[in-house]
Structure 1
Amino acid sequence: MSFHKSTASPDAQTAFITGYLEALSLVERLHRLLLDVVKDEFERLGILDINAVQALLLFNIGDHEVTAGELKTRGYYQGSNVSYNLKKLVETGYMNHQRCEVDRRAVRVRLTEKGRGIRDVVGALFARHAEGLESHGVLGPDGIDQITSSLRRVERYWTEQIRYIY
C-alpha cells in the first residue's frame, strides 16, 4: 500500500476514472448477457422449467454438496434470493436437500440426476463458446489469462475495501 500522491496529471486521472467506470459497466452488461445466452440455449433445447440463474447455480455446484449459506461464500451463487431458487430447484427435481446431522438448522443440497443433466448442458455450452472464442481469434489463452488475472486483482482490492469498512 502506498501513501504517495498520484503523479498522474488531472487529465490522466480523469481518463483512468472514466475507464474504470466503463469497465464496471461492461462487467455488469457481460453478466446480464451471460444470463441471456444461457436462457436462449435452454429455450432452443425446449427446457423451460428452469431459469438462467438457476442453471448457473446448478453448474457451479457441480458434484459438491453444500449448505445454502456456503453458496454465496464459495461464489456459486451471485443472486439475492437463494432460498427461492433452492426451493424451486428442489420442487422441480433438480436438487435434493437434507438437514445437516450436526447443525439441524442447516440444509445441505446436491444435484439430482436431472440437475446433473442441466449442469452438463451448461458445461457443453461454455465449452462451445470457449472453442469459438479461440477459433475465431476473439481471445486466446494469453488473453484469457490476462483478463482472469486482472479481474482477480480487482476482486482482491474490493475484498480489502470491504474488510476495512468493519
Structure 2
Amino acid sequence: MLSPASRDIHQLADPRLVPDLSETTDAYLDSLQLLERMHRLMLDLVKDEFERLNRNDLTPVQAMILYNLGESEVSAGELRSRGMYQGSNVSYNLKKLVSMGYVHHERSDLDRRSVRVRLTDTGLVVRELVHRMFLRHAEGLAMSGILEDPPLYQVNLQSRRIERFWGEQIRYIY
C-alpha cells in the first residue's frame, strides 16, 4: 500500500499531469546536493569561528550538539533525532562533552537505561557563541537581500514539506 505522499508522487509521474517532470526532477536532485553542501559549509563556518576564538577543544559537530541541546533537558535519543550529526556518533560525542564539562548527564529515575542530558554553564557559553555567529549571519543575509526572493519562510515551508515526505517514506518501508 502506498503512503499518501507516495501516491501524490506517482500521480505526478504521469507526464500528462506534469509536462516537464524532468525539469522538476533535476531541480529536486540539485536541491539534495545543495542541502548536503550547505550542511558541510555550516560545519566549516562553526570550525572557522572556533578557530578565530582559539577554541580548539570542540569539533563543529560537538558545538552543534551543544547548540541544538540549548536550554532543554532531553534524552540522548531525542537529541539524536532532532540534530544533524552526519557521520558522527552522538553517544561518543555526548560522552566527550560530559567528560569535558559541557554537558551534565543523569540516569532517568523511571527508566535506568535512559540518560537525560542538559548543558552545564560552560556548555551554555559555547551555545551562546554559536548562536551569536548565526545571528551575525542572519543580519548579513538580511542586509544583502538574499533572504527576500523567495522569502525565506516560503523556502522553509517547502523544506518542511520535503522533510515530512521523507519521514513518511521511511515509515512506510516497514
Output aligned runs, 1:1-166, within 5 Å: 1-2=7-8, 4=11, 5-7=14-16, 8-9=18-19, 12-73=20-81, 75-79=82-86, 80-140=88-148, 143-166=151-174
Contact between 1:71 and 1:77, CA under 8 Å: does it hold in 2? Answer: no
User: Structure 1 residues 22, 77: CA separation in 2 closer, same or farther (over 3 Å shift)?
Assistant: closer
TM-score (norm 1): 0.91
Q: Which runs of 4+ in 1 moved over 2 A?
A: 1-6, 76-80
Matches of 1:44 and 1:15, distance apart in 2? 42
> Unaligned regions of 5+ residues in structure 2, if any?
1-6
TM-score (norm 2): 0.87
**Matched positions, count:** 163
Shift in Å, 1:77: 4.5
Q: 1 or 2 for the larger relative contact order (CA 8 Å, sep ≥6)?
A: 2
What is the aligned-residue identity percentage? 50
Matches of 1:105 and 1:137, distance apart in 2? 49
Matches of 2:58 and 2:37, distance apart in 1? 22
- Secondary structure of 1:108's counterpart equals strand
